[in-house]
Amino acid sequence: MKRFWDHAVAVARPEGGHAVLLDGRPLRLPGGAPLVTASSSLAEAIAAEWQSAGGEKGGEMSMEAVPLTRLLGTAQDRVAPDPAAMVEGLAKYGETDLLCYRAEDPGLAALQDREWQVLLDWADAAYGARLTVTAGLMPVAQPAASLAALRAAVEAHRAEELAALGLAVPGLGSLVLGLALSAGRLDAAEAHRLAVLDETFQEMRWGEDAEALARRARVAADLALAERFLSLVRA
């Protein structure tokens, strides 16, 4: 779309929260509601996105240029009205968490044990969620109490935080890694490195695959966005 504004600014709303104005008019969601956040830092960052998008009035822009806006819009329009749906979707990842499935290759299994077990131990210590580890790809049933503990950990997140987890957890394939990112136990780069441990191990033997590299780059960008969004929401 064409840029139709000159100036984007963040403002405090008299009724509470912070909004972004485009030439004095509130930035709105597709349904018409104004985009609002409790975080002044996030509002400022979103205003900066819109101030840069399209270069200048009349320039071309796409929503790809405003990722923080898209994520806040998801939180406000889709997560906040029904947080339970997002909680349920995220909690399901605990049932088949990536970190619980070790390779049959002894070398890779030893690497996974060294790199992943510390995060499973952290989840047990932080949330009381001890998960069962298995070798191979056959599903292993996890203790009901552990799954309930992980679900409670997800439920403790606000709508905006859930939106960030909703971006991070599917890319990681691991609820434990997503919670560790949210808790500050890992940064985005380290969470991503752990999530692709199998791929990078195989690449050392067989070489890199362009499609896999492109996919990993997209996931890395999503994780960096989720991490930045969380930091702004909590600032």
| 211 shares its domain with 99 | yes
| pLDDT tens by residue, 114-158 | 999 999 999 999 999 999 999 988 899 999 999 999 999 999 999
| 45 shares its domain with 103 | no
Rounded mean pLDDT, 227-231: 98
| 170 shares its domain with 116 | yes
| 173 shares its domain with 216 | yes
pTM, to two decimals: 0.95
Per the CB < 8 A criterion, the answer to whether 168 and 115 are in contact is: no
| 140 shares its domain with 29 | no
| 216 shares its domain with 108 | yes
Question: In the structure, what pLDDT confidence band is assigned to residue 212 with cuts at 50, 70 and 90?
Answer: confident
| 66 shares its domain with 94 | no
Q: Is the pLDDT of residue 29 over 90?
A: yes
| pLDDT tens by residue, 44-61 | 999 999 999 999 899 999
| 227 shares its domain with 208 | yes
| 59 shares its domain with 148 | no
Q: How far is Cα 10 from Cα 31, in angstroms, rounded to an integer? A: 21
- For the chain, the domain total comes to 2
| 12 shares its domain with 26 | yes
Q: Take residue 177 and report the two structure tokens written for it.
A: 């890694």
Q: How far is Cα 81 from Cα 179, in angstroms, rounded to an integer? A: 22
Please state, as a whole number, how many other Cβ atoms lie within 10 Å of the Cβ of residue 189.
12
The residue segments making up the domain with residue 31 are 8-79
